[in-house]
């Protein structure tokens, strides 16, 4: 990891929230070896002041510590996922992936796989830098599978804050990702990608749907969305491309009685409007599916 990360600028101050998990020892060791000044939070194994998933937790202790550091990183319990906190602000999970991707683009890696629910901001950034993007189904295994099939050099899933670099490890690796991101702190590229991604807004919600009606509901929904939106993708669920900066994705859950909705746009009012519109379509489709009694 140290060889891939390279030299860090001016011994940055790093705040780490290891969440009492697997990274409790190796994360501080990595950054100390890189010459950083390290403050560690929740370093006692099995004990933590926050929940196990940093993508959902407010990370209040790390938010405070980041105000006196150059950057903060929060790991999940097995250390494969990572959330970035900068200047007292917790960044969205997609920012983790975006920063990792920005670093490998700097390393001249151009073939990248993103899950279908990853921010369009990352895809636009990749293309602007001369990279090529393939979209996979949601889920780390699906991202990795497409990376292998297309011989891609990097990939990830924005919603889970997971970045994958095959040269190091063919799965998400929060430790490597944190080091790569730390090497960018204070650079023009770091500030540019964060600023660019902060211009996009994502909303996620779910509609309660009896799983017996999932397939029928999605079939009805597909027809409704085809009538309302000009571009539809069915790689995983139903995704509508509304314009170059806006999309909506609807997927059935495999484990719960719900259908999930993800929406993104670079306009906050628009993303709210799209979510409302798509939620209504899902509910209407479910009502029709129930009336048909055809599973």
Closest CA to 93 of 174, 206, 171: 174
Contact 118, 136 (CB under 8 A): no
Residue found under tokens 């990376």: 147
β 37-41/13-17 pair status:
parallel
248 φ/ψ angles, rounded to the nearest 5 degrees: -140, 135
pTM of the model: 0.93
pLDDT tens sequence for the chain (295 residues) = 777 887 787 789 999 999 999 999 999 999 999 999 999 999 999 999 999 999 999 999 999 999 999 999 999 999 999 999 999 999 999 999 999 999 999 999 999 999 999 999 999 999 999 999 999 999 999 999 999 999 999 999 999 989 999 999 999 999 999 999 999 998 888 998 999 999 999 999 999 999 999 999 999 999 999 999 999 999 999 999 999 999 999 999 999 999 999 999 999 999 999 999 999 999 999 999 999 877 6
Would you list the DSSP string of 158-202?
A: GGGTEEEETTTEEEE-HHHHHHHHHTTTTSHHHHHHHHHHTT-EE
What are the residue ranges spanned by the domains of the chain? Answer: 2-91, 201-292
201-292 homologous superfamily: Alpha-D-phosphohexomutase, C-terminal domain (3.30.310.50)
Q: Which pLDDT score, from 0 to 100, does residue 223 have?
A: 98
Which CATH homologous superfamily contains domain 2-91? Alpha-D-Glucose-1,6-Bisphosphate, subunit A, domain 3 (3.40.120.10)
């Amino acid at each position: 990891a140290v060889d891939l990360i390279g030299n860090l600028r001016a011994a940055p101050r790093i705040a780490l929230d290891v969440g009492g998990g697997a990274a409790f020892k190796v994360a501080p060791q990595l950054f100390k070896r890189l010459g950083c000044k390290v403050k560690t939070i929740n370093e006692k194994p099995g004990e933590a002041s926050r929940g196990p998933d940093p993508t959902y937790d407010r990370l209040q202790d790390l938010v405070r510590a980041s105000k006196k550091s150059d950057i903060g990183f929060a790991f999940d319990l097995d250390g494969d996922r990572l959330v970035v906190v900068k200047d007292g602000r917790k960044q969205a999970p997609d920012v983790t992936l975006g920063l990792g991707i920005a670093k490998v683009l700097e390393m001249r890696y151009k073939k990248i796989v993103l899950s279908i629910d990853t921010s369009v901001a990352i895809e636009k950034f990749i293309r602007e830098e001369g990279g090529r993007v393939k979209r996979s189904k949601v889920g780390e295994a699906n991202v990795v599978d497409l990376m292998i099939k297309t011989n891609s050099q990097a990939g990830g899933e924005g919603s889970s804050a997971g970045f994958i670099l095959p040269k190091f490890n063919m799965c998400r690796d929060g430790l490597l990702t944190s080091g790569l991101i730390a090497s960018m702190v204070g650079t023009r590229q770091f500030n540019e990608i964060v600023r660019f991604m902060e211009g996009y807004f994502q909303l996620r919600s779910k509609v309660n749907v009896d799983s017996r009606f999932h397939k029928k509901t999605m079939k009805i929904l597909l027809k409704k969305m085809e009538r309302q939106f000009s571009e539809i993708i069915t790689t995983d669920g139903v995704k509508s491309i509304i314009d170059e900066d806006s999309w909506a994705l609807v997927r059935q859950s495999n484990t719960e009685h719900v259908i999930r909705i993800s929406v993104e746009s670079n306009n906050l009012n628009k993303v709210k409007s799209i979510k409302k519109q798509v939620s209504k379509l899902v509910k209407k489709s479910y009502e029709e599916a129930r009336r048909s009694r055809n599973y």
